[in-house]
Amino acid sequence: MNEHETKQLDKKLQQVIKLLNAKRKLIGRVLVAVILVAFITAVVVTIQRAKTATELKKENEELRASLAVAQENLDSAQNELTNATDQLAYSEEQVNLLEESTSALVEQVGKMEKKVSELEELLNVKDTPPQITKEQLEQQLSSLSELVTAKYFYRNATRQEGSKTWLWGWTMPFSDISLLAAYDGTIKAGIDFNQIKIDVNESQKVITVTLPPSKITDNNIPQETINVLEVKNNLFNETTFNDYNQFISAEKDVMEEKAIEQGILVEANNEAQATIKAFLSLVPGMNNYKLTVKTSGN
């Protein structure tokens, strides 16, 4: 390159530098604007991406929850289907067993009916009402010897007095004694089953049972119920164990008479009739007879 060309090149370079210097400010402003647009674009893109990611995450969670519910419903449906299948299989098994049992039962019934028919033809069986005899009824009552049918409970308090006498019947002075006591007791009344009379009229189908009159079967004053309230002794006489026994014996007689006056024997007769009639009514075939139960002397 010669000197002239060098000068020309320098001149053009100087012109370019002047031109660049003249448009430096404009280039800077354009550059700033470009950078600002690029920054704003990057921010917008970032915000849009963040919003899209959040929505996608939310939708993903909702999809997962829906999937879990659907899976749970599917498992429940499968369990119900399995249970229904098991129940159906069990029901079918039971139906088969029932059908087999029914068939076997029908077969057994048929065989039994056939055997009964053959037996009736062979023996010519005829239904006849059972016949009741006097001996049969006596045997039914043989296990009972005495039946208590009425009870009378009593409580009493009384005083008993006494004294010694001389050989010729005079009362000995200073020998008076007295005993005051309270007591509880029980009187029982019933009939003797060995005295029951039975009459069977087979032609008229009438059975008559005659009972003996009721009687006192027991009169008991337990020792533990006797409460001695007062004992009075004297100079020449004292209360003894024999006096206690006489006191109890006399009180038994008094209370027995009182119980009879109040109707214990009548009650015992009525109870005995009702009990015997109910007892004999259970004898097989008694419904074919007229049963009468009465007390002798009534």
> Could you tell me if 87 and 167 lie in one domain?
no
Asked which of 75, 93, 127 is the last residue of a domain, the reply is 127
Question: Residue 209 belongs to what domain range?
Answer: 134-295
171 versus 245: the higher-pLDDT residue is 245
Same domain, 150 and 112: no
Distance CA 196, CA 267 (A): 18
- Do residues 142 and 102 share a domain? no
Is there a single domain that holds both residue 105 and residue 145?
no
Lowest mean pLDDT among 94-103, 196-205, 213-222: 94-103
118, 220: one domain: no
Reported as half-sphere exposure (CB side, CA atoms, 13 A), residue 271 has a value of 17
In the chain, the percentage of residues whose pLDDT exceeds 70 is 65
What is the arithmetic mean of pLDDT over 172-187?
A: 72
Helix (H, G, I), strand (E, B) or coil at 188: strand
- Given 109, 127, 145, the domain boundary residue is 127
Residues 223-248 have pLDDT tens digits of: 888 887 666 655 444 555 566 777 78
User: 153 and 17 in one domain?
Assistant: no
pLDDT of residue 235: 46
pLDDT at 179 over 90: no
Radius of gyration of the chain (CA): 63
Same domain assignment for residues 118 and 144? no
Query: Structure tokens of 145?
Result: 């010897």
pLDDT band for position 175 (cuts 50, 70, 90): very low
In one-letter notation, the amino acid at residue 251 is E
For 1-14, what is each residue's pLDDT tens digit?
556 666 666 666 66
Cβ count near 110 (within 10 Å): 10
Residue 23 confidence (pLDDT) above 70: no
Residues 157 and 287 in one domain: yes
Are 285 and 160 members of one domain?
yes
Number of domains making up the chain:
2
What is the pLDDT at residue 107? 79
Would you call 47 exposed, middle or buried from its count of C-beta atoms within 10 A (0-12, 13-18, 19+)?
Answer: exposed
Query: Looking at the structure, do residues 145 and 223 belong to the same domain, yes or no?
Result: yes
**86 vs 93: CA distance, rounded Å:** 11
Contact between 178 and 115 under an 8 Å Cβ cutoff? The reply is no
* 227-232 and 177-192 strand pairing: antiparallel
Mean pLDDT of 182-200: 90
More confident residue, 262 or 43: 262
Q: What is the pTM of this model?
A: 0.49
In this prediction, residue 111 carries a pLDDT of 77
Q: Are 161 and 177 in contact (CB under 8 A)?
A: yes
Q: What pLDDT score does 104 carry?
A: 75
Query: Is 42 in the same domain as 121?
Result: yes
Is 50 a residue whose pLDDT tops 80? Answer: no
Q: Which of 77, 103, 127 marks a domain boundary?
A: 127
Q: Do 168 and 75 reside in the same domain of the chain?
A: no
Pairwise CA distance, residues 96 & 89, whole Å: 11
What are the φ and ψ backbone dihedral angles of 31, each rounded to 5 degrees?
-65, -45
C-alpha–C-alpha distance, residues 211 and 197, integer Å: 7
Query: Is the per-residue pLDDT at 153 higher than 70?
Result: yes
Report whether pLDDT(286) > 80.
Answer: yes
